Chain A
């Protein structure tokens, strides 16, 4: 079983290297932890260190298995030499035998399910599409390269750095199994927390509520990062609670690292930084101890974990928080309009009302995951407010649950779930017999065979225990073809295109299984523009048939500016901007300079003499937007013509001229409007895509225009090179 061995090796080597780094840290800082705590805290505080090491290697172009093997081996050897694996002989209070048996029994059963699924070929939607798509690309290219066509490549990738390390040895499943290690660490750490702070039964109950939850199982066994985020968040919380009782300054170091690592794992984890700083400052203030030292240590270490990702983005895509905050950091790679629409969709999904959310996340699973019906009882957690621990847990739940307001995907509850589960358990364990019964019900309702009986069809959950596939007794290929949507399409791309081919698609596909450059329409401004160019010839309202003619008295001018004066939801776009004198178009000279606000980067597209390219505001119109041409000298002109599409009914335009006196003055009345005859731009659209370096287009039968592309392929200039799984791959000829 060489494949299974390499998967196990990849994951275990990664976890071992992280743990070794963490133990060097915890032992170096002489943290007072029990042996049980030390193993788990070491893994969770070592993960940021290993992640940072891989990040540095990626930045240096040294991301390859040889370097990782050498680095990991050196770390382990150094850790052994420093004696960090010697047990300290300190232990937490023992668990009640019944609860210990329940924890181990249920834990073992579900652990088999989880390990089998994590080791099986990776079939998660996001894992196979972008989490590992980017990871495999980094390994192919030896590290980071500027990627402007995939917004996911510019998210913080602290978790993906661990995946890179594991993937180098065991490919996709090693990365998923590494994530699974966080799934195991989380409930064990929750139990440790309860044992240390005096409520071990509630802790076991809470840990099982979380660990058996279907969304934790499906996410934690995939190459996702949400369970890692939850585990790191809980470790941070745990260390803060220890610090609150011990006031051990050494704890500031792992607290700072974990707070910053939470941002590195996922932007939403950035809330950990104000949470940790606020917690330490408030407690220090209450005790009248100095505020600056903890602020400096925690803030500096958190920044050290966060800044590399911001700097990488700042340098490469002009926005440290890409693909968010594009209004503050405008850039040509992600448009403001896209960000607004994207965030809006994440806030609502397809729900008609927010009142549907509790049922959607607990029973139906219609928001991309399933917590389990038992979590309908989560409001009882509020009764935990009467206990100090309950208040601390609910505060953390509030902080780490805040992103759910912005994205109501079930996965976004995961970071808050350990705190909610523990707070629930603090209350439920007060009623004799209730907690074991609920755990039993939860276990049954979370079992793969039971979920389809109550959840919506298509819910994301672990359907099988694919141990033969996990051990690669059954071939990986067959499992992927049967279980991974669009896998056969990816195979087609690999077979029908040469290395280096760039493929435009409107539908995300499992990029992690192809070496080609996949350009998904929505994942960057340039991809979307290419997609629109391919769509526009099929949409009459997008055809450049609306001609706006501004006529004014012939006069010498240094420039012209078209102002947009209305506020509306439409985007403003201009296909061509021409200037005339006595009916003759002025030649666009070398002295001309072109300006636009907003989206200045695309203004050349309104002056390139092509009817398939266009400048767009890329956001809803507001007064003050403009397009401007500076002639660089005085030119006699008497009219300006805009060629536009009709799909901008809310746009209102006025023309200004830059006179010889240096003043901008209104010119003429409003524009005359004409309709131009529509023409076929199919061939021109394909020519433009080729000009942009796009070699292939993947069209699914469900994609807009699929029938036209197929029926009029010759007119488009497309040649079908393969067809499978409801998709056609066209070469642009």
Chain B
């Protein structure tokens, strides 16, 4: 009986029902962002995770997004060797009418990688080798693209840059 009573009591003992969210770890080496990849397409379900600033929150046709004045992206790199920065984008005819040829300056982790001159509207592709010293392994790497001219909406002053389709680092 003693066994049975104890077993009954212990069987009813405190298996917790639920737990609150624990303190979030932020001191580990970028664990928060390590689920990021080195490349993103605007059609990716988690594309928003790669956008740092000045890129539209909503994708047009689920495949592209407008950029604004100082678009910024982030990528997680495990290695820094033999990487190229690649970007597919487009200059809209409507904005090109106002801006004319546009020069895009690509900054990686704050340092200028290259400049790309876009002479006409339509799709563009750029691809530049990135010196390893510009990159951080096992860490988030930031890319900023500065256009020398943006289209300004006469109606509300909104600044539109180029149309981003995909970007990132590849071998």
Q: Which stretch, B21-29, B104-112, B118-126, B144-152, touches the partner chain A? A: B21-29
Task: Given A318-B10, A678-B78, A688-B28, answer yes or no on A639-B17 (Cβ-Cβ < 8 Å).
Answer: no
CA distance A132 to B18 in the complex (A): 38
Q: Are A687's CB and B45's CB within 8 A?
A: no
Minimum distance in angstroms from B82 CB to a CB of chain A: 15
Residues of B within 8 A of A328 (CB): 7, 10-11
Within 8 A of A (CB), among B33-81: 34-35, 37-38, 45-49, 57-58, 76, 78
Does A118 have its Cβ within 8 Å of any Cβ on chain B? Answer: no
Q: Are B27 and A314 in contact (CB under 8 A)?
A: no
Cβ-based interface call for A464 (8 A)? no
A314/B6 in contact, CB under 8 A? yes
List residues of chain B with CB within 8 A of the CB of A588: 21, 24
Residue of B nearest to A581 (CB): B48
* Contact A583 B78, beta carbon cutoff 8 Å: no
Interfacial chain B residues near A592, Cβ < 8 Å? 20-21
Closest A residue by C-beta to B49: A583
Collect the chain B residues with CB atoms within 8 Å of residue A684's CB. 28-29, 31
Contacting residues, chain A, for B26 (C-beta < 8 A): 609
Q: How far is the CB of B35 from chain A (nearest CB, A)?
A: 6
Q: Is the CB of A600 within 8 A of B49?
A: no
Q: How far is the CB of B4 from chain A (nearest CB, A)?
A: 12
A466 interface residue per 8 A CB criterion: no
Q: Kindly list chain A residues whose C-beta atoms are within 8 Å of the C-beta of B35.
A: 547, 576, 641, 643, 676
CA of A186 to CA of B94 in the docked complex: distance in angstroms?
102
A residues in contact with B2, CB < 8 Å: 299, 303, 306-307
Minimal beta-carbon separation of B125 from chain A (angstroms) = 24
- How would residues 601 to 631 of chain A score, 1 for a CB under 8 Å from any chain B CB and 0 otherwise? 1011101111111000000000000000010
How many Å lie between the Cα of A583 and that of B40 in the bound state? 13
CB of B6 within 8 A of CB of A600, answer no
Q: Decide if the interface of chain B is mainly helix, strand, loop or mixed.
A: loop
Knowing A314-B9, A583-B49, the reply to whether A608 touches B22 (Cβ < 8 A) is yes
> Would B18 and A593 count as touching, CB distance under 8 A?
yes
Decide yes or no whether B32 CB sits under 8 A from chain A.
Answer: yes
Q: Does A433 contact B (CB under 8 A)?
A: no
CB-based nearest A residue for B137: A680
Beyond A310-B6, A677-B78, A679-B138, is A595–B31 a contact (Cβ under 8 Å)? no
- The 8 Å CB contact of B28, one of A310, A603, A611, A677, is A611
Complex contacts, A306 vs chain B, CB 8 Å:
2
Residues in A whose Cβ lies below 8 Å from that of B49: 583-585
Contacts of B24 in A (CB 8 A): 588, 608-609
In contact, B18 and A595 (Cβ under 8 angstroms): yes
A683 touches B29 (CB 8 A): yes
CB distance from A619 to the nearest CB of B (A): 15
A350–B7 alpha-carbon span in the complex (Å): 34
> A514 interface residue, CB < 8 Å from B?
no
**Is B154's beta carbon under 8 Å from chain A?**
no
Q: What are the residues of chain B within 8 A of A609 when measuring CB–CB? A: 24-26, 31-32
* B132-156 interface code vs A (CB 8 A; 1 in, 0 out): 0000001000000000000000000
A contact residues around B29 at 8 Å (CB): 680, 683-684
Q: Does A102 have its Cβ within 8 Å of any Cβ on chain B?
A: no
Shortest C-beta distance, A558 to chain B (Å), equals: 13
Q: How many chain B residues touch A (Cβ–Cβ < 8 Å)?
A: 39
Q: How many residues of A contact B (CB 8 A)?
A: 57
Q: A180–B47 Cα gap in the complex (Å)?
A: 72
Assess whether B16 is interfacial by the CB under 8 Å rule.
yes
Closest to A582 in B: B48
How far is the CB of A40 from the nearest CB of chain B, in Å?
30
Q: Which residue of A lies closest to B31 (CB)?
A: A611
Neighbouring A residues of B45 by C-beta, 8 Å: 549, 551, 580, 583, 639, 672
Q: Is the CB of B28 within 8 A of A320?
A: no
Give the docked Cα–Cα distance between A89 and B14 (Å): 58
Cβ of A329 within 8 Å of any chain B Cβ, yes or no, is yes
CB A577 to nearest CB in B, in angstroms, measures: 11
Cβ B27 vs Cβ A687 within 8 A: yes
Q: Which of A67-110 contact B (CB under 8 A)?
A: none
Measured CA separation A610–B28 after assembly (Å):
7
In the bound complex, residues from chain A placing their C-beta under 8 Å from that of B17 are 595, 600
A672–B45 Cα distance when bound, in Å, is: 11
Q: Is the CB of A612 within 8 A of B31?
A: yes
Contact between A676 and B31, CB atoms less than 8 A apart: no
Closest to B38 in A: A677
Pair A314/B18 contact, Cβ less than 8 Å: no
Specify which chain A residues have a CB less than 8 angstroms from the CB of B38 in the assembled complex: 677
Please name all residues of chain A whose beta carbon is closer than 8 Å to the beta carbon of B138 when the two chains form the complex. 679-680
Chain B residue numbers with a CB within 8 Å of A314 are: 6, 9-10, 13
Say how far A594's CB is from chain B's closest CB, in angstroms.
5
Distance in Å: Cβ of A35 to nearest Cβ of chain B = 36
A353 is an interface residue with CB less than 8 A from chain B = no
Q: Are B31 and A584 in contact (CB under 8 A)?
A: no
**In the bound complex, how far is the Cα of B29 from the Cα of A609, in angstroms?**
11
Give me the 10 closest cross-chain CB pairs, A-B, nearest first.
A583-B48, A684-B28, A604-B22, A593-B18, A610-B25, A609-B24, A611-B31, A588-B21, A303-B2, A608-B22
Q: List 12 A-B contacts (CB under 8 A).
A: A549-B46, A583-B48, A593-B19, A594-B21, A600-B17, A601-B16, A603-B19, A611-B28, A680-B78, A681-B31, A683-B28, A684-B29
Q: A329-B10, A641-B46 are in contact. List 7 more A-B contacts (CB 8 A).
A: A320-B6, A594-B21, A605-B22, A609-B31, A610-B28, A679-B34, A679-B138
